[in-house]
Amino acid sequence: MIVRSWIVFLWIVALSYGERTNVLLICVDDLRPEIKSLGANYIHSPAIDTLVESGRAFTRHYVQAPTCGASRYALLTGTYAENENQRSNNALFSVASVAETEPFSLPRQFREKGYRTVAVGKISHHPGGLGGENWDDPEDLEMPGAWVVNLMPTNPWKHPRGAMHGYAGGKARIRGESPPVEHREGDDLTYTDGWITREALKQMAELAQSEEPFFLAVGIMKPHLPFAAPLSYREFYDGVTLPPIPHPEKPTGLSTWHRSGEFMRNYNHAGNDPRTDVAYADFLRRSYAACVTYADRQVARLLEQLEKTGLAENTIVLLWGDHGYHLGEHAIWGKHALFEESLHAPLVIRTPGMKHPGVRTDTIVETVDIYPTLCELAGIDIPSGLSGDSLVGLLQDPSAGDGIAISYWRNTETIRTSRYRLIRHQREEGPPAYELYDHDSAEGGTVNIAEAYPKIVKKLSGMIDESLSPTNPEPP
């Protein structure tokens, strides 16, 4: 958590025109900081790069959980998980009964204050926000009362579950049989994100004609598996030299390493294994990069529509990656671990009239900080009981403050400070076991120094307990 700044301000544009500031929230699935402007020089990402240069990039943003549902729970409730259900992909469904009576979610908070809340694509764990076998049951809401409109275009895929892992021609994934990669010739509508963006542009045009302020959330699915994008995006990476995978070895000793089950078991790799085959690993990395560029193009279309409709001057734009992703680091392909690669994700905020656009901040921040930040920017009361702190101070002064980030996966918690990462493994019997990494050292997250520094372990473990102690028994 970042120390809350004493600076509180209202945006000049909103005051001058007497208008309430709109919000465009762009969520990108499985996007690690694999962006040219954030250091991945081989990536073609012009739209996000432009947003970085016109806004504030938080280069040390960490998510609460290395899985979609629990990470989005933190975003949409502004709170850490209090139990095992809230650390899972069903996190929001687990509190749906409370959501029917309590305006605790971020969009519900804006809706209660007169905003028209619209979601398109994957914002909560299920695209469209519905449960049921195919995620299309209108009686089973993931976030009751949150959205005025919550849409997931599924043509030609029949239902949201099929679209989530869709291939060209309306084909849905068959677990263990479908390939991890597909690049067909065609326009953006060849794959799911083209349809999501088309609907989002339609919604934005309608919102531009309304006198209501809006909170529009657009959930882009790529680069989530399968790595499927039109062939034209894959061609950006033909002949490009990829940097070597850092620390590709499997860790020895205590760690949250896993066998890359989602990646290896859910898809047919035709006998290839990226953990042992460098050529196949590079093939997959190029396809991931193609999906990043495909996602970037959807961001471009959204930002172009903001300008075209005249909304850009009075709209907060926030782009968020829901968690990081391993592309071979620590011999992992996927997420679901507590290494840096699983938890480090992009966060960029652009506000009307912001100071020092394009200047980045390396202060550690976390996903739970987004809820209070958007409330403060929009002049909406910040509910009590949130786990995070507003980032408004860093939007004015990118050098202000220092922070920590708390994350968790199943029965394991971690804290990231400016120098250290402590990972605490809870055990059924006996005291916890620990990993401690010094990220100011050359070894970074590869050498566990916990036994050598028990005082640091004790201090950081206490900070985890203090952060995760519930201040409010119910969602705020």
Q: Is the pLDDT of residue 4 over 60?
A: no
The CA distance from 38 to 5, in Å, is 25
Residue 472 has a pLDDT of 46
Write down the catalytic residue from 27, 44, 61, 68.
68
Q: Is the pLDDT of residue 150 over 50?
A: yes
To the query of whether residue 125 is one of the catalytic residues in this protein, the response is yes
Q: Are strands 56-57 and 130-131 parallel, antiparallel or unpaired?
A: unpaired
Write down the catalytic residue from 27, 44, 61, 125.
125
Residue 424 has a pLDDT of 98
Please list, in sequence order, all residues whose beta carbon lies within 8 angstroms of the beta carbon of residue 187, skipping any fewer than 6 positions away. 194, 230
How is residue 54 written in tokens? Answer: 């016109």
The H or E element that residue 151 is part of is: strand 149-151
Q: Are 409 and 87 in contact (CB under 8 A)?
A: yes
Rounded average pLDDT over 310-330:
97
To the query of whether residue 291 is one of the catalytic residues in this protein, the response is no
The CA distance from 416 to 410, in Å, is 17
Domains, the chain, in order of start with CATH, read: 12-403 (3.40.720.10)
pLDDT band at 13; cut points 50, 70, 90: very low
Residue 103 has a pLDDT of 63
Q: Is the pLDDT of residue 474 over 60?
A: no
Q: Are 287 and 238 in contact (CB under 8 A)?
A: no
Residue from 385, 384, 390 nearest 403 by CA:
390
Rounded average pLDDT over 96-119:
88
Residue 15 has a pLDDT of 35
Highest mean pLDDT: which of 52-56, 83-87, 351-355? 52-56
Within 340-463, strands assigned E span: 347-350, 365-366, 405-409, 412-416, 420-425, 433-438
Residue from 251, 252, 249, 254 nearest 424 by CA:
254
What's the whole-model pTM score?
0.94
Q: Are 372 and 78 in contact (CB under 8 A)?
A: yes
Rounded average pLDDT over 252-256:
95
Q: Is the pLDDT of residue 115 over 80?
A: yes
Residue 471 has a pLDDT of 56
Residue 396 has a pLDDT of 95
Rounded average pLDDT over 149-168:
96
Q: Are 146 and 111 in contact (CB under 8 A)?
A: yes
